[in-house]
Amino acid sequence: MTQALREILYTVSPYEGIDPADYPDDLQGWGSDHPVLVAAIEKLRPKRIVEVGSWKGRSAINMARVVRALGLACEIVCVDTWLGSPEHWLRAGPGWYESLALKGGYPQLYYTFMSNVIRHGFQDIVTPMPMTSESAAVVLAHLKISFDLAYIDAAHEYAPAKRDFVAYWDLLTDNGTMIGDDYIIWPGVTQAANEFALERRLNIVGEPGKFVVSKAGGAMPSIKL
Ligand SMILES: C[S@@+](CC[C@H](N)C(=O)[O-])C[C@H]1O[C@@H](n2cnc3c(N)ncnc32)[C@H](O)[C@@H]1O
């Protein structure tokens, strides 16, 4: 039985004291319902998933739904600062800045995420890890926590995207798979993903929006995009 990271990180449930009635029922996301996320969980039957970049929880909740439907004993660890990305602060899309839900100048997005998880009843599956992806990777490596599936959807700039691919690839189990968002859409992500795959001599399967790389025999995963 894989020990839940939740038991190591927290002495009381992180959901304790959060009342979803205080936060909007708003599950907006981007590419969060993509079938590759479902296909990967069905194929890998993971014991642990890490999502890097969770925003309001749409992709995490969709994955949790699949985990539950398959009856898997699987924890989904969600790493995010919940402080938003440059594009949210720069108002690059409709309602993105407002979604940060600033209070005293500080985002309350974490509570939107937590409330959404509670509202959909997935507190037993989803564990929040409110840290930078970089710091969380250090904690996870130190604790020797590994993942069967990593979904990377945080920064869109080249340097932090590449750093996430490297750090979370190293946290995958021997047959682990990594899925990345925003491939071909954000140039920094695309460059980082292509370089990463080339340097590690990995087959990368991609289409606008998602890419997949897998450790399984170093071969291309049989996941249909
Ligand atoms: C595109 S959103 C994630 C969307 C989510 N996966 C979905 O489909 O609903 C990107 C998220 O990454 C987070 N983020 C950006 N850079 C980060 C970093 N260096 N460490 C942790 N989180 C980061 C932001 O706070 C934001 O919530």
**What does the H/E/C string look like for 9-23?**
HCCCCCCCCCCHHHC
68-101: per-residue pLDDT in tens? 999 999 999 999 999 999 999 999 999 999 999 9
Q: What is the DSSP letter of 4?
A: P
> In b/e form, how buried is each residue of 141-172, taking b as 16+ CB within 10 angstroms?
eeeebbbbbbbbbbbbebebbbbbbebbbebb
CB 33 within 8 A of CB 62: yes
8-58: per-residue pLDDT in tens? 999 999 999 999 999 988 999 888 899 999 999 999 999 999 999 999 999
Q: Give the pairing type, strands 75-79 and 126-129.
A: parallel
146-202: per-residue pLDDT in tens? 999 999 999 999 999 999 999 999 999 999 999 999 999 999 999 999 999 999 999
Q: What are the structural domains, with CATH classification, of the chain?
A: 5-218 (3.40.50.150)
pLDDT of residue 217: 55
3 C-alpha vs ligand 1 centroid, how far in Å?
Answer: 26
Q: Which of 37, 50, 54 to mutate to test the pocket of ligand 1 (most atoms within 8 A of CB)?
A: 54
pLDDT of residue 219: 47
pTM: 0.96
| pLDDT of 222 over the 70 cut | no
Angle in degrees, 0-180, between the axes of helices 133-142 and 158-169, rounded to the nearest 10:
10
pLDDT of residue 225: 55
Q: Which of 102, 113, 133, 151 to mutate to test the pocket of ligand 1 (most atoms within 8 A of CB)?
A: 133
Kindly state the tokens that stand for 97: 């800045």
* Residues contacting ligand 1 via CB (< 6 Å): 29-30, 32, 53-55, 58-59, 79-85, 132-133, 153-155, 160
150 C-alpha vs ligand 1 centroid, how far in Å?
Answer: 14
Distance CA 3, CA 75 (A): 9
CB 47 within 8 A of CB 71: no
205 C-alpha vs ligand 1 centroid, how far in Å?
Answer: 22
Q: Give the pairing type, strands 172-181 and 147-152.
A: parallel
111-154: per-residue pLDDT in tens? 999 999 999 999 999 999 999 999 999 999 999 999 999 999 99
210 C-alpha vs ligand 1 centroid, how far in Å?
Answer: 15
